[in-house]
Chain A
Amino acid sequence: MKSKGLIKTFAILGLVFGILGMVLAFLPLGLIAVLPAGIALLLGILAFLAAKNVEVKKNLILVVLVISILGILVSIAKTVFIEDKVAVDNEFYQKQDESLDESMEALDELSDEMDSELEADLEDNESK
């Protein structure tokens, strides 16, 4: 009875960690999923070994093992095979072009002020 209780505890804890690992594996957080998935795998192995000579249903233990291994594999595969890249964002490029156009208009209005500033700065530097 005690054994069955322990096996059940390992399996349920393993399931919780395994689900957490699977969720984190699909988020863009690098290899962070490996930790909970690894814990799930360890708990699943412990439950499996404890259940060898005990008459108990092993379906839950198998689920824990499968999802923990999947979580680890997905996390590693994502890190190795999927390259970080930036989306082609035409709206953002357009904003940059519009900003340039507006800036040039503002600078043209400043033109007279700029000329004397540019001359003064240059003279200042040359005299030093």
Chain B
Amino acid sequence: MKRNFFLLVLLGFFVLANGQNVINNSFKENEKLKFVASYYMSGLWSDIAELKMEVSKVNTKNSSLFRLKCTANTYTSWDSFFKIRDLYESYVDMKTIKPFLFNRMIDEGGYVKSVKYVYKRKSGVVEAKIKRGNAKERSLDVDVSDDAYDLVSILYYVRNLDLDKLSVGQEIKVKLLVNSKYNVNEEIVTVKYKGIEKIKVDNYGKLKCHKLSINLKDEEVLKGKDSNNIWFTADENKVPVLIKAEIPVGSVQIRLVEMTGLRN
């Protein structure tokens, strides 16, 4: 199983926006989304992990932020073969979704890695700390644009974009901070709007959804062009309901199975 499993799952959520600022109107505190991740092997889809995305409010000394927490856990039947316990979280402004801090802590088949970004926007810098396995932690400062997001915050940012205004085939570029080994770079993710489709969602029936494809230059993470797709509900919540992605060692599918605490 490819390392950084959850990384590419989250990348599958990626989309949108040419640096537009947004005002959050698609989610609120206590929203909880649950997904099932499946892996395609030998002609069959096997459910292997549960993913959760949860929103909570935290209070710092002088302000309140959203904590956007994403976790991935393999099912007990898989734990003996390849155990995954991944945590991704971003602390963001409650109105504009701009991130102030990002954490990534993964444990996949015994491989552990932690990545932390602290955004210092006044100076246009992210202070990054990276630790891989038992190696010493390394720190670096990275120049970043004001409209660069991390893997978690961008997902919620995208949910606040006006997808209804996009035309089929329209491409949008968004800046994403991506970590590779001990480097952190701003990469451009290209997202193409593919129109409206009805998607069958477990427990919720057929839902009208916006379909988008995701392209990233780095084929070590996502392969192919236009073969990685994500569907969001075509309502004010824009809940992600399905992702299909081609990864270097096969195909992955993530489907929504439960949603609670929706804003609209």
Contacts and interface: CB of A to CB of B under 8 A. Distances in A.
Interface stretch (B41-49, B151-159, B163-171, B181-189): B41-49
Interface residues on B, range: 35 or more
Nearest to A91: B85
Contacts, number: 113
A81 interface: no
Nearest to B77: A28
B75 A84 contact: yes
A110 B73 contact: no
Given A30-B45, A96-B71, A107-B91, A114 B60 contact: yes
A115 B62 contact: yes
Given A113-B122, A117-B98, A107 B60 contact: yes
A9 interface: no
A42 B87 CA distance: 47
A2 B101 CA distance: 75
Nearest to A82: B77
B44 A29 contact: yes
B150 interface: no
A3 interface: no
B144 to A, nearest CB: 14
Residues of A contacting B: mostly: helix
A96 to B, nearest CB: 6
A107 B93 CA distance: 12
Interface string B219-243: 0000000000000000000000000
Interface in A82-105: 82, 84-87, 89, 92, 95-96, 99-100, 103-104
Nearest to A110: B100
Contact of A114 (B21, B100, B105): B100
A28 B67 contact: no
Given A96-B69, A116-B122, 10 more contacts: A29-B42, A32-B41, A85-B76, A95-B105, A100-B58, A103-B89, A103-B91, A107-B101, A110-B120, A122-B96
A31 B41 CA distance: 11
A100 B76 contact: no
Given A99-B87, A113-B122, A116-B122, A125 B58 contact: no
A121 B118 contact: no
Contacts of B42: 29, 32
B79 interface: yes
A27 B122 CA distance: 53
A55 interface: no
Interface of B: 21-23, 36, 41-48, 50, 58, 60-63, 65, 67, 69, 71, 73-79, 81, 85, 87, 89, 91, 93, 95-96, 98, 100-101, 103, 105, 116, 118, 120-122
Contacts of B79: 87
Contacts of B101: 103, 106-107, 110
B77 A89 contact: no
B104 to A, nearest CB: 10
A118 interface: yes
Contacts of B58: 100, 104, 107
B62 A128 contact: no
B244 to A, nearest CB: 18
A1 B215 CA distance: 63
A107 B100 contact: yes
Given A103-B101, A117-B98, A118-B93, A87 B121 contact: no
A121 B46 CA distance: 44
Contacts of B22: 125
Given A29-B41, A86-B50, A99-B89, A113 B63 contact: no
